[in-house]
Structure 1
Amino acid sequence: MNAKRHSKRKVLLTGFGPFGDAPRNPSLEAVRALDGREVAGHVLVARELPVEFGVARDALRRAMREVRPRLVLCTGLAATRTAVSLERVAINVDDARIPDNAGRQPVDVPVVRGGPAAYFSTLPLKSMLRALQAEGIPAEVSQTAGTFVCNHVFYGLMHQLRNRGGIRGGFVHVPPVDGDGPFTPALLERALGLCIKVALRTPVDVPLAAGAVD
């Protein structure tokens, strides 16, 4: 059984560990809840990334070498958002308003020196959006992943995948699961599982109306 599972194609999921004084991070809890499940003939493998510039990107690189995925979905918390945000663009700049967990606070520093200004997600974002909304899950296509560690990882992922056409990847920001918002851990888990299912089964995205601007 273990050998059979090991031979299956894999999806790499990443979430960030706790940031600052927060005791937990819903992005990590959601991907851990999905770890080991099978979707469309693929095993889901979850990994934790630290909220640290440079170190997070290196950890992602190691995870990709270990897992050898066919699809990569990185996730992170967007504390002020109220919907699952499917990120379209990763930009080549680290510009931290606050320090990361290691005290680093880069300003106007490229993620990859000499890299292109931006990369686009290769996930079928509009198809994912349609599926989420059909299930009544608040969702949007976002045009910016910010300039903190989430964007740093998103850009690093797409830079790593630039010459690997058989592997698709992208980033999803998740909203908080506490307070008065509509999201519970179970709903967030269901949303990410649906995103993965659609991404694996949709080779060509569908054209829909534009996404959000933030």
Structure 2
Amino acid sequence: MILLTGFEPFGGEAVNPSWNAVEAAAKILQAEGQVVAAVELPCVFGQSIAVLEDALQRYRPELVLCVGQAGGRPRISLERVAINCDDARIPDNAGNRPVDQEVVPNGPAAYFSSLPVKAGLAALRAAGIPAEVSQSAGTYVCNHVFYGLMHTLSSGPAGVEPPNEGSSATRGGFIHVPYETQQVPRGSGTPSLPVAVMAEALAVVVRTALATTTDIKLPAGSVH
């Protein structure tokens, strides 16, 4: 079982490409014979993690890929690190605006994705999809969910059990997608991608993760 999540629109936008891409990616993977659940998360601190945790308990997936919008980024961003910090520049959809608060009180400072981000990057590049490894998922609801996911998956009985007896622990991670084409005024120069490209990117990452238990070594860091 594969769990994909995207977000509802936020910040005054009419759409959120993360959810549109997740819905389309689920159909691609289902057509390939995969069992996939797609869940839309509220763009709300706290509530988003609660909905995610409910989905984890309900579906008991072997693989979880959470997706969010990073408007302005030009590429698919495979997030490497989730940090234990909520610091909202804008309110969420419920009007919450936490500043310098921990996602999980007294939790670890950070978690790394348990997906093969370097192998995913290589696969995306081979497919001709613009992609990067990102060292920061921000401090808004996306990072909040990413940290909540990794904390839940690391928490044993308080988190989610393996999907089947004898199977390995559930793996998970987070991807940011750019604006979708319809969000961007024509001629503005703002980076965007068609939803179909984003959906195929998510499918590529899922296929790669299912086939890869040990990540590859590939230079993909940054100097600033």
- After TM superposition, the structure 1 = structure 2 runs for residues 107-126 of structure 1, keeping only pairs within 5 Å, are 107-126=99-118
Q: For residue 177 of structure 1, what is the aligned residue in structure 2?
A: 180
Between the aligned partners of 2:98 and 2:111, the Cα distance in structure 1 is: 20
**8 Å Cα contact 1:52-1:101 kept in structure 2:** yes
Instruction: Name the SS for the 1:38 alignment partner.
Output: helix
Structure 1 unpaired stretches of 5+: 1-9
- After TM superposition, the structure 1 = structure 2 runs for residues 1-40 of structure 1, keeping only pairs within 5 Å, are 10-35=1-26, 37-38=29-30
Between the aligned partners of 1:207 and 1:113, the Cα distance in structure 2 is: 33
Between the aligned partners of 1:203 and 1:40, the Cα distance in structure 2 is: 21
TM-score (norm 2): 0.87
**8 Å Cα contact 1:123-1:169 kept in structure 2:** yes
Q: Check if 1:196 corresponds to 2:187.
A: no
**8 Å Cα contact 2:25-2:200 kept in structure 1:** no
Between the aligned partners of 1:49 and 1:127, the Cα distance in structure 2 is: 27
CA deviation after TM superposition for structure 1 residue 42, in Å: 3.4
Deviations 1:128-184 (A, max 9, x none): 000001111100000000000000000000000114561100000001112354611
Q: Check if 1:155 corresponds to 2:186.
A: no
Q: For residue 89 of structure 1, what is the aligned residue in structure 2?
A: 81
**8 Å Cα contact 1:31-1:189 kept in structure 2:** yes
Calculate the aligned-residue CA RMSD, in Å: 1.7
- After TM superposition, the structure 1 = structure 2 runs for residues 54-133 of structure 1, keeping only pairs within 5 Å, are 54-133=46-125
TM-score (norm 1): 0.91
Identity within the alignment, % = 54
Q: Check if 1:136 corresponds to 2:146.
A: no
CA deviation after TM superposition for structure 1 residue 77, in Å: 0.1
